[in-house]
Structure 1
Amino acid sequence: MLKDISSIFKAHLVPKEVYKGGKNIPPTDKKIYKLSSNENPLGASPKAVAAMKIAADTIDIYPDQTDIRLREALAKDFDGQLSADQFLCGNSGSEVIDLLLRAFINEGDEVIFSNPCFLPYSVFSRWYGAKQVDIPLLSPNYDLDVEGILNAINEKTKVIFLTSPNNPTGTYIPKPVMDDFISRVPKNIIVIFDEVYRHFADAEDYVTALPYVLEGHNVIGLNSFSKTYGLAGQRIGYGYTTPTIANYVRLIHKPFLLPLTSIEAAIGALNDTEFIQKTVETVLDGRAFISRAFDELGIKYWPSQANFFIIDPPLPEMEFTDKMMNEGIMVRPVSQFGAPGKVRITIGNPEANGALVKALTKLMDTYSTNR
């Protein structure tokens, strides 16, 4: 007699924690500013939208069998420093993470990450039976614990996740720190360097994965078209690495991997330099405006190199989130990301940022009166 079907389920897939994306704006007649999902404050790249409209006329046929056209466009976008065969594409940066873990992780292997961080690092690792090793960022500034990570490495360590700028903290890894780490990490370990928010980083000592890839290290730079290019709804991302690693990972690429509209949108977005520049300027201006408001209102926050802030709200995180929603501002509590009690706020366009500051001012005035 057959046993209960759950007897053949993989134990490491039994739900423990599940990544939950940000909520969409609920049906309402009220004006709501969605500052909870780190989406582009200007919408989507016009060139991307135009390319998608043209592609819509041929969605009855299969798309490109491979991602080669997009990889060639990416190589051009990187000024020829990388060849097309050094890129890996997928349906979002999250799928690229999944692809990489599927390529390198066996049950019992170990994956290192540093909370607070993007939850899929741990959730996706569990799908493949990996042991998750959390070396938390150091208080109070959310600095990378280099020595902690290096001391945690053993013969079972396969992958280390680094993120700069980091989600949800907005903090980054300075180049001297990164140089030191890469020089000391064993050569048989893959370092996945999540740089999805790299366009918004303006610190003089900020560094991407690029120089380490060019030097031949086992580093993979992870990127997405959801932020700078405004293509969150198209779910397209990519990574770049050494030819050896990229060619190996492509062995498990599915044919017809990317939808035609996503391919065309991504290529169009890469060519939309005016939109990219305007997006970055909007975020940097908004970042300065909001940080000044935080200072004036006495709200504790961490300096950000991304298109969002993490704050320590004056009220419990869910109460703060609900009160902000009542004022038409959607923000995101990030306990799930390993930052209990904190809230993440996306930088919007000038109108949204103004509404945010108005709502915060009202809340802080009420909070001060009731104390």
Structure 2
Amino acid sequence: MSDNKLIRKEILSIKPYIPGKPIEEVKRELGLKEVIKLASNENPLGPSPLAVERMGETIKGVNIYPDGNVHRLREKLSVKLGVEGNQLIFGNGSDEILVMLAQAFIDKGDEVIMAETTFSEYEFATNIMGGEIVKVPLKDYTHDLKAMAETISDNTKMIFICNPNNPTGTAVGRAEVEDFLDKVNEDIIVVFDEAYYEYVSDKNYPQSLDYLLDYENLIILRTFSKIYGLGGLRVGYGIANEKIISYLERVRQPFNVNAIAQEGALASLEDQSHIRESLDYNRQGKEYLYREFDKLGLDYVPTETNFILVDLPKSNDQVFKELLKQGIIIRSLSSYGYKTKIRVTIGLPEDNKKFIKALKSLLNK
């Protein structure tokens, strides 16, 4: 059997996504009893207690297919966001919506613009459909929207902007975004991925929902995986005008958001005290890690998210392995072309302290 005849050639260029190591795997491999994970930007407080209770009640009915239209969550979110229900689409995580976007809009040979250092799933979704990836270098670890606009050609079909950006934690401001949108042809889909939207404290951060009326080519992606603590359930959603949503609905799989996930997300929206507590822990953790990095003389990128990009005087892969032996999982950024940078999730106070203690020991060797 010939692979050349069997496999679509577009698939051969796809690099499988490598997730952060799971806690149980590290425990099993290294014989550890305690492991902390600061690698995947999860909420260290976990999900809302109200969500846990609601999900427990929902388990009894999992013999029934979920609501394929996600009616109750759609209704709740439309009121919260001030949009119509038909302006929302839901996915098995935002990742699934990225693939829907590629399936609905990208033809073979279409150009898709993205930052050189950003969320890897944009590249994955583009490659699936045979699109041509055009990467634009970051400027000061931030999307260079001016350069991205200058890169647009007659073949450009879609532009991805991760705001705040993963893995750098930076965000582009309102003025830059508005100037950029004015330069983009209406036949080009602009995707604002705002997975970390709730963590942003910069007052100059653009409220992208305000642009939906004026820019019909815009779609905004958000998720319940980060601040809402539901990463294991996979619930993401997109907001756009009803025409874009109608095209995405044509490629959406039926029953793609499971019943437990829908109830967990719905309850999470109702528990604002959990959001406030999560933000407070994140703010305190960020301030603590900034102080400790300063003491260690380490360069880091100020963040608008729940993670920090840090530059080390040693190989990031080496530090990753050494920390792993001590039961601390962080993210080496060698896959992004960085040799000494890591990404660390802001954890609970005791986890942050354990990480800093271990890092100090490694750097002093």
Q: Shorter-chain-normalised TM-score: which range?
A: over 0.9
Distance 2:340 2:189 in 1: 32
1:220 and 1:241 in contact (8 A); partners too: yes
Q: Which residue of 2 aligns with 1:22?
A: 20
Report the CA distance between 1:67 and its aligned residue: 2.0
Residue of structure 2 in register with 1:256 after alignment? 255
Q: Does 1:63 align with 2:61?
A: no
Which residue matches 2:36?
Answer: 33
Q: CA deviation at 1:5?
A: 5.5
Residue 13 of structure 2 contacts residue 127 of structure 2 at CA under 8 Å; is this kept in 1?
Answer: no
Does structure 1 residue 125 correspond to structure 2 residue 117? no
Distance between the aligned counterparts of 2:279 and 2:213, measured in 1? 26
Aligned partner of 2:49 in structure 1 is 46
Take 2:228 and 2:109, find their aligned partners in 1: how far apart are those partners? 38
Contact 1:116 1:168 in 2 (8 A): yes
Task: Tell me: CA distance 1:340–1:150, structure 2 relative to 1, closer, same or farther (3 Å).
Answer: farther
The more displaced of 235-244 and 333-342 is 333-342
Residue 259 to residue 186, structure 1, CA distance change in 2 (3 Å): same
Contact 2:90 2:238 in 1 (8 A): yes
Consecutive unaligned residues of structure 2, counting only runs of 5 or more, are none
Q: Equivalents in 2 of 1:219, 1:340: separation in Å?
A: 35
Q: 8 Å contact 2:159–2:191 — kept in the other structure?
A: yes
2:227/2:278 contact within 8 Å kept: yes
Give the total of aligned pairs: 360
Q: Deviations over 1:80-118 (max 9, x none)?
A: x21111111000011111111111111111111002111
Following superposition, the deviation at residue 179 of structure 1 comes to 1.1
In the other structure, the counterpart of 2:8 is 10
Percent identical residues: 35
Q: How many angstroms apart in 2 are the aligned matches of 1:296 and 1:17? A: 38
Task: Give the superposed CA RMSD.
Answer: 1.5
- Is the 2:51–2:264 Cα contact (8 Å) retained in structure 1? yes
| 8 A Cα contact 1:119 1:336, kept in partner | no
Structure 1 338/201 Cα, relative in aligned 2: closer, same or farther at 3 Å?
farther
Instruction: State the 1:15 CA deviation.
Output: 4.4
What is residue 283 of structure 2 aligned with on the other side?
A: 284
Equivalent position of 1:270 in the other structure: 269
Counterpart-to-counterpart distance in 2, 1:158 and 1:279: 37
Closer, same or farther in 2 for the Cα pair 1:24/1:109, shift >3 Å?
same
The residue type equivalent to 2:76 in the other structure is: A
Residue 338 of structure 1: CA displacement?
A: 4.9
1:340 Cα shift?
Answer: 4.4
User: 1:315 maps to what in 2?
Assistant: 314
Please state whether the residue corresponding to 2:69 is helix, strand or coil. coil
- Following superposition of structure 1 onto structure 2, how do residues 1-371 of structure 1 map, counting pairs within 5 Å? 4=2, 6-25=4-23, 26-27=26-27, 28-78=31-81, 81-138=82-139, 141-366=140-365
Letter in 1 for 2:98: I
TM-score normalised according to structure 2 size: 0.95
Whether the aligned pair in 2 keeps the contact of 1:209 and 1:220 (CA below 8 Å) is: no
Normalising by structure 1, we get a TM-score of 0.93
Measure the CA separation in 2 of the matches of 1:136 and 1:19.
21
C-alpha deviation, 1:76, in angstroms: 2.2
The one-letter code of the counterpart of 1:77 is: K
Where 2:52 maps in the other structure, the secondary structure is: helix
Q: Which runs of 5+ in 1 are unaligned?
A: 367-371
The aligned counterpart of 1:369 is: none
Deviation track 1:15-67 (CA, whole Å, cap 9, x = no partner) reads 44221111101124332211011111101111211111111010011111222
Q: Are 1:200 and 1:284, in contact at CA under 8 Å, matched by a contact in 2?
A: no
Equivalent-residue separation in structure 1 for 2:43 and 2:137 (angstroms):
29
Q: Distance in 2 between matches of 1:340 and 1:29?
A: 28
1:136 Cα deviation from its structure 2 partner: 1.4
State the alpha-carbon separation in 2 of the partners of residues 215 and 337 from structure 1.
Answer: 35
Distance 1:40 1:121 in 2: 23
